[in-house]
Amino acid sequence: MSYPKLVERFAEIYRLDHAITFLSWDQMVMMPEHGNDARSSSIAELAGIRHRMLTAPEVSDWFGESDVQGVNDAATQISLREMRRVWQQATCLPEALVVAKIKAGSTCEHGWRTQRANNDWSGFLKNFLPVVQLAREEATLRQQAATDEKGLNTPYEALLDLHCSGDSQSLIDSVFANLRAELPTLLQNVRDHQSSRNTPVISGEFPITKQKALCEQLMKVLGFDFAGGRLDESMHPFSTGVAGDLRITTRFRTDEFLEALNATAHEVGHASYQGGLPADLEGLPVGDYRNMCIHESQSLLFEKQIFLSRHFMQYFTDVVHQHLPGATAYDASALWSAATHVEPGFIRVEADEVCYPLHVLLRYEIESALINGKIEAQAIPDLWNQKMNDYLGLSTEGNYTNGCLQDIHWTDGAFGYFPSYTVGAVNGAQIFKALCDDNPQWQAKLGSGDLGFVREWLENKIWSRGCQLTSQELMQHATGSTTNTDAYLAHLNARYLEESH
């Protein structure tokens, strides 16, 4: 009789998460500046209540009773597996470590905001060393606490499990090994190839109200339902919310419009996954999204596979021209060339589709070695410089601001997140290939803005599955094989060297 109690407790937690989700959205999108202290206190209060609900002694008893009494049907077993994963992740760290981690992370992140601007690596390192030490302790404890029969093979894999659950370090290693072998040469070939073409630079004056209407039209074409969601503006584009109330944001520049459209397409992918999760499992861990490698596959499928395709751009250019009279100078070919221009740079978040995975590869290699104790934090700047040279042909020697100090992730100990960006891109290409194989008319449909087949296929194969399958079961089921770089490398070759799509 204890499984229903677990269901009710997780439903309560889900309703609290709803509150935290929308209070956080408001904080980033609507809240005036003086509201921050009260808002942070309120969210912290809710997070504390949530933690106590999840880690209360009776929850442990209920899990025990579920074991003892036996739950025979497979669906309930799987639901319990996912409940246990969430619960175990919440309970396996001693409170003293959690507090020390928050404190060290907060100090490091706070200092980083000025140290980054001041190119101050040694100042940063002083705060960063305790963050690394605590992350290693966390990783070891999480590894020891793992209840999955396969276990976790390295401390780093225990941190990966928080974001990329189900994707082992060995799988991710093999993905990145292929990218390390292929991408630097591919990048050089793409640059040679593009040097002979005429790539326009978008310029002009594009009013934000008109760009917003254009982005909303893109959302409609991509299948977003405004009765169940909205678009707003924020400093950094993001997606959040629940089915029926999906909130995405984008960012506008008045001298350019591709950035806002790219971000919109990306966030529609995230929102579509969130909105397509199984309604009958809402409120249960098994009804949640699978992991960030799958979540990112959906955003990148909408952004890179659809929006950046020649076929869709052919269709959408007319829509652009209808909304932005100042954009009529750019035909579909010019827009596509501008949107797919490749050029190495220092900054990950500004990188194009070919360079981006190399930025992630570099971070993955460094953070996995760091957490598994194979290197120390002092070695990071030299490693960064060496890998930037090897992968992107750029030196960051002495340039910490645009090198190893550029990202916020590590400052508060969020190791194991970076890989999801690129495993997501790889998954996205693999999923899109399977989708197209099932829909031979896909090019004509993208070319006419008819995306119903995309949503229908993804809803069936990915969105509605929630966490019922593990990530690799899901990939196998949807695409016929587990995550591998074949479709991704074929996509990059085709788009950037053959220019056929």
Answer for which of 3, 5, 7, 23 binds a second copy (CB under 8 A) is 23
Q: How far is the CB of 242 from a second copy (least distance, A)?
A: 5
Distance, in Å, from the CA atom of 353 to the CA atom of 301, rounded to the nearest integer, reads: 12
The number of angstroms, rounded, from the C-alpha of 32 to the middle of its chain's C-alpha atoms is: 27
Single out the segment in contact with a second copy by CB under 8 A; choices: 19-27, 81-89, 187-195, 450-458. Answer: 19-27
Q: What are the tokens at 498?
A: 């053959």
Answer for which of 16, 97, 100, 319 binds a second copy (CB under 8 A) is 16
Q: How far is the CB of 87 from a second copy (least distance, A)?
A: 19
Residue 216 within binding range of a second copy, rule CB under 8 A: no
Q: What is the DSSP letter of 153?
A: S
The sign of the CA dihedral 259, 260, 264, 270 is positive
Size, binding site for a second copy by CB under 8 A = 35
Residue 92 within binding range of a second copy, rule CB under 8 A: no
Answer for which of 3, 5, 7, 18 binds a second copy (CB under 8 A) is 18
As a 3-state breakdown, the chain gives helix, strand, coil percent values, each rounded to 5, of 70, 5, 25
Distance, in Å, from the CA atom of 411 to the CA atom of 420, rounded to the nearest integer, reads: 18
Backbone φ and ψ of 191, nearest 5°: -65, -40
Q: How far is the CB of 226 from a second copy (least distance, A)?
A: 7
Site string for a second copy, 28-47 (x = CB under 8 A): --xxxxxx-xxx-xxxxxx-
User: Which of 170/254 has CB closer to a second copy?
Assistant: 254
Q: What are the tokens at 302?
A: 């909408």
Answer for which of 3, 5, 7, 22 binds a second copy (CB under 8 A) is 22
Place of tokens 């309970």: 91
User: Which of 46/97 has CB closer to a second copy?
Assistant: 46
Residues 45-84 that bind a second copy (CB under 8 A): 45-46, 49
Q: What are the tokens at 39?
A: 């808002």
Distance, in Å, from the CA atom of 501 to the CA atom of 494, rounded to the nearest integer, reads: 7
> DSSP readout, 194-261?
HHTS------S---HHHHHHHHHHHHHHTT--GGGEEEEE-SS--EEEETTEEEEEE--BTTBSHHHH
Residue 233 within binding range of a second copy, rule CB under 8 A: no
Q: What is the DSSP letter of 29?
A: H
Single out the segment in contact with a second copy by CB under 8 A; choices: 158-166, 241-249, 287-295, 426-434. Answer: 241-249
Q: How far is the CB of 351 from a second copy (least distance, A)?
A: 33
Strand partners, 249: 232
Residue 345 within binding range of a second copy, rule CB under 8 A: no
Residue 93 within binding range of a second copy, rule CB under 8 A: no
Residue 15 within binding range of a second copy, rule CB under 8 A: yes
Site string for a second copy, 112-151 (x = CB under 8 A): ----------------------------------------
Single out the segment in contact with a second copy by CB under 8 A; choices: 98-106, 228-236, 249-257, 300-308. Answer: 228-236
Using CA atoms, how far residue 167 sits from 364, 372, 419, 481, in Å, is 14, 17, 10, 14
Interacting residues with a second copy (CB under 8 A): 12, 15-16, 18-19, 22-23, 26, 30-35, 37-39, 41-46, 49, 225-230, 241-245
